[in-house]
Chain A
Amino acid sequence: MEHIAFLPIGPEIVALAGAVIVLMSAVALNLGRREWGVIAGVTLLASAILSVLQWLRLDSLEVGRQLAFSSSVSGNPDLYFHPMVVMDKFSAFAGVLVYLVAFLALVGSWKLVATFGKHGAEYVALVLLAAAGMHMMAISSNLILLFMGLETASIALYIIAGFARGERNSDESALKYFLLGSFASAIFLYGIALVYAGTGSVSIYGSGTAASGTGSIRQFFATEPVAVMDVGVLLAGIGLIIVGLGFKVSAAPFHQWAPDVYQGAASGSVALMSAGVKVASITAMVRVLMAAFPTRIDDWAPILAVISVLSIVIGTIGAIGQRDLKRLLAYSGVAHAGFMLTAFVAGPVAIPNILFYLTTYVIQLVGAFTIVAVVSGVRSGASRISDYKGMFARSPRLAMTLAIFLLGMAGIPFFSGFIGKVAVFGSAIGAGYTWLVIIALIAAVAGLFFYLRVIVVMFFEPAADAPGTATAEPQLTGGAAFVVYLTAGLTLLFGVVPWLLLNLLQYTV
């Protein structure tokens, strides 16, 4: 290559540079919160715009170079940096999603930064670092780089979870997240090692064209006869990678950290922690399973089906008994991870449907957690459902928008969640996993209960006398109002005219 192409890693470069500038500006230039906010906001939006530019640039390439998930090895994606990253529409879309989620999460709970005083700059920088790491997971064409992205994002989030120093909940949350998370990272790394032992490569696509590429994982599966493959080691490797990523997705039975971490962390930081990580880990899982191991789908699809059922059932049952809205959303997130995993069994054709579900779900999630931060206070850990009693009378806008997010997650028609469910379940049924869909839909019905319970509390029950930790008359103002109205609007928009997004996503396969 004659010149270095910066576009494929442009969003990361910008985000990392923004993080450094924010840190430096706080130390050397003595800039205030307003300036950090402008720098961080501009940085994240610029990264998102660069991702859009990637998408537009790919439009000018011939179709063959966009097909990073074709099951034949003749797919010839755009690879860069000997080949560490891949630029395809999938990674470009993941970039738009990650940076916008980070942007909205930061804007929605900007008040949180104020509570950290002069340490606020560190918090803002960590958010930018986490976003860069998350996107790196989606663009990696090499398992080692994927691991580095995962660690960059995770370590930043461990610190964010514990950033409300002095609050005992926050310390507990960070320590739990760190111990369990690093354990999962180690498992993931071990999985990479076993895959390397089995295939002789850690590169997904190899260098240059995949067909003539040297020693990539895809190359290995395409050329080696089945008998030669050291199947045991390889399958163990794939299994461990699924476990490691399953932890990050918070799929059962690797989900126990999620409720505690969400509940303990400052409410203002949970939107990024939940939505951003979901985007990064689901896209990474798609990349690894469908680009590196598509020919072993018969081996990993049943594993994913089982994980999916466990997540859906455990997440739903777990959510029913919760009295804390953050814990409820954490458990429902476990179930939603399961819903998304149902479509994986269909292989690469399901990618648009998975991405649609992912997009609509994280939009609802960011909106819901922004409201939690408004009602319970950005720094607070607890967020009791009883605090929401009579919310409709006290603050009708908050009650209405939270109801929109909850109905969206519940999969009620006219909200984006319904279309998402039809999409992923359609993929699963098409792949012959009807039993999986039946279980998932029954759980979705059971899920209506806990979502409806919150809505009933908000609309029909009189306000409690002692509002506890919550603000008595929470008001939706400033950045939070912008985020909540935008996400609520998108939830309705994609529920009524889903093709705006679905048609776009058809190009990501």
Chain B
Amino acid sequence: MDSFPVLALMVLVPTAAAIVVALIPKSRSELVFPMALTLSFLPLALVGYVVWEFETGAPGYQFTQQVLWYEPWGVSWNVGVDGISLLLLALTAVLFPLSIAASKSIDKNQKMYMVAMLLLETGMLGVFVALDLILFFVFFEITLVPMYLLIGIWGSGNRIYAAVKFFIYTALGSALMLTGIIWMGVLTGTFDFTQILDASLTANQQAWLFLGFGVAFAVKVPIFPFHTWLPDAHTEAPTAGSVLLAGVLLKLGTYGFIRFNLTLFPDAAVRFAPWLAGLAVVGIIYGAAVAIVQPDVKRLVAYSSVSHLGFIILGIFAMTSQGLTGGVIQMVNHGLSTGALFLLIGMIYERRHTRQISDYGGVAKVMPIFAGLFLLSVFASAGLPGLNGFIGEFKILLGSYLRFPVAAVLGASGVILAAIYLLWAYERVFTGPVNGEDNKKLLDLDTREVLIMAPLVVLILFLGLYPKPALDRIEPAVAEVLDRIEAVTDYEVPQFGFQDDLAGGGE
């Protein structure tokens, strides 16, 4: 591996882009949108380079770079990528240009909006590469302020309430995590993730640290009962805000669970796994049940996120190879399909300025392209075989059945419920006679909007039909996590006989 610090560049380029955009003078404000959009392709190119150069199956972290920052505290700029973070980086880098492209109609203080978006990208990319706890915390927190501003300034209706609620919930979680991080630093004398792995913490210390980190991540995911901020934040956020919230921000929590809770506190993870699996199942069914009755289509998708993220948590805490792999791939899948749904909802909201399902009907007749894309996203979200959602949900249910059969059976009902709320919503909005004059005048998607959707459609189909490249990269990283748990605890990962045959999925 050459010493080209590609990760540092990747994390800092959005910040540099934000500064460039901020310096555009008021008299040339028409440059803000094209400039922000163009610059957002730079991190995508760098992530593309990382994905291309990534050595599949190599152990440990790649592209690592460590620069000591303050020795007595053991804090350093320490970054690296493994198979788990690789896919999330790719997801983040893909969603940002699309979100910025979808924000063309933002007219209130557009420059500030773009600056906030680009700073948000620095935070999100940084979280996935940080291998130092303080560095991780810094990036974790950086995401908070731009998102707060995006919801609070450019949101709809009840935006201030939603922004403040989002802020309080997540910041309180981070406060507990920072306590845990400092405590761990005091206990081990370092914040370096790879060194802390070698430190032995007592079962009691692990339990408290697990809870401290766990609450922060549980709020982010969100796990039932910490989910109440999510429907408000998703619903009131601007389209790009919703896409990034669902697509990336929630994954910060699930990623944190794998990277920190499972890896650093294996004893506690084994101990608390049944509880988290239980909460995950509650979240799956509760989220789906509430989604069915939502009159607001954006709120419906928001609650579907609670349900889908429940699947991911179930997969992670099943602590089997299949479950964890499924959880990671499902993080990407959920980002793609829910991101697509939010983008589409944003497009029709710009035309009609309502999100109430009852205001629509027969839209498929006037907007056939829109309807087709929406149906594809709905199928992807519901886990139709051949599309990306299927492979993730299948692996999660398979993996969790090995460990928690009852939870898997109950969780499987979430798949059916998802089909109900998604298809019923589709039926009410798109089929039947066109009701109302406003709906008759609706224009179908224009070229820009189709171009925004195209990459997501391609990825949804690609991951659905040929998930092997993604799985090949995830599985070694997952195996390392599980090997470590097996090595330091007396937990044994349940094995499944013909696992290899299934790895190809819908091939």
Binding site for B on A (CB under 8 A): 412-414, 422, 425-426, 429-430, 434, 437-438, 441-442, 444-445, 448-449, 452, 456, 459-460, 498-499, 502
A498 to B179, CA, bound (A): 20
Chain B minimum-CB-distance residue to A423:
B73
Q: Are B186 and A430 in contact (CB under 8 A)?
A: yes
Cβ–Cβ contact B138 & A413, under 8 A: yes
> Is A413 a contact of B175 with CB atoms below 8 Å?
no
Cβ-defined partner of B186 (8 Å) among A412, A429, A498 = A429
A412 lies within 8 A of B141 (CB): yes
Contact of A429 among B70, B72, B167, B182 (CB under 8 A): B182
Asked if residues A445 and B174 are in contact (CB atoms below 8 Å), the reply is yes
CA distance A430 to B167 in the complex (A): 29
Which A-B residue pairs are the 8 nearest by beta carbons? Answer: A441-B175, A445-B171, A413-B138, A430-B186, A442-B175, A445-B175, A429-B183, A429-B186
For residue A414, which residue of chain B has the nearest CB?
A: B138
B142 within 8 A of A: yes
Which of A413, A422, A498 meets B141, CB within 8 Å?
Answer: A413
Prevailing SS type, chain B contact patch: helix
Bound-state Cα–Cα, A414 to B138, Å: 9
In the assembled complex, B153 has its CB within 8 A of some CB on chain A: yes
* Contact string against A for B residues 252-294, beta-carbon threshold 8 Å, 1 for contact and 0 otherwise: 0000000000000000000000000000000000000000000
User: With A438-B175, A452-B148 given, can you name 20 additional A-B contacts, CB distance below 8 Å?
Assistant: A412-B145, A413-B138, A425-B178, A425-B182, A426-B73, A426-B185, A429-B182, A429-B183, A429-B186, A430-B186, A437-B179, A438-B176, A441-B175, A442-B175, A445-B175, A448-B167, A448-B171, A460-B112, A460-B153, A502-B72
Nearest CB of chain A from residue B215's CB, rounded to whole Å:
11
A452: chain B residues within 8 A (beta carbon):
145, 148
Contacts of A499 in B (CB 8 A): 70-72
Q: Which residues of B contact A422 (CB under 8 A)?
A: 73, 134, 182
7 contacts between A and B (CB under 8 A): A413-B137, A413-B141, A429-B182, A429-B186, A434-B183, A442-B175, A445-B174
> Is the beta-carbon distance between B182 and A438 smaller than 8 angstroms?
no
Q: How far is the CA of A498 from the CA of B141 in the complex (A)?
A: 20
Q: Which chain B residues lie closer than 8 Å to A434 at the CB level?
A: 179, 183
Q: Give Cα distance in the complex from A443 to B112, angstroms.
A: 29
How many whole Å from A453's CB to the nearest CB in chain B?
11
Tell whether B172 is near chain A: CB-to-CB under 8 Å. yes
Q: Is there a chain A Cβ closer than 8 Å to B105's Cβ?
A: no
Chain B: CB-nearest residue to A428: B182
Measured in the bound complex, the distance between the Cα atoms of B178 and A422 in whole Å is: 9
Q: Does B109 contact A (CB under 8 A)?
A: yes
Q: Which of A444, A445, A448 has the most CB of B within 10 A?
A: A445
Complex contacts, B178 vs chain A, CB 8 Å = 425, 441
- B142 close to A413 (CB less than 8 A): yes
The residue that B179 contacts in the complex, of A412, A425, A448, A449, with Cβ under 8 A, is A425
B106-158: which have CB < 8 Å to A? 109, 112, 134, 137-138, 141-142, 145, 148, 152-153
Closest B-chain residue to A426, C-beta based? B182
* Chain B hits for A414, CB < 8 A: 138
Q: Known: A442-B172, A444-B175. Contact between A437 and B182, CB under 8 A?
A: yes
- Contact indicator A502/B186 (Cβ below 8 Å): no
- Give the docked Cα–Cα distance between A434 and B172 (Å): 16
Q: How far is the CA of A502 from the CA of B75 in the complex (A)?
A: 14
Residues 223 to 262 of chain B near chain A (Cβ within 8 Å): none
Residues 58-90 of B, flagged 1 when their CB comes within 8 A of A and 0 if not, give 000000000000111100000000000000000
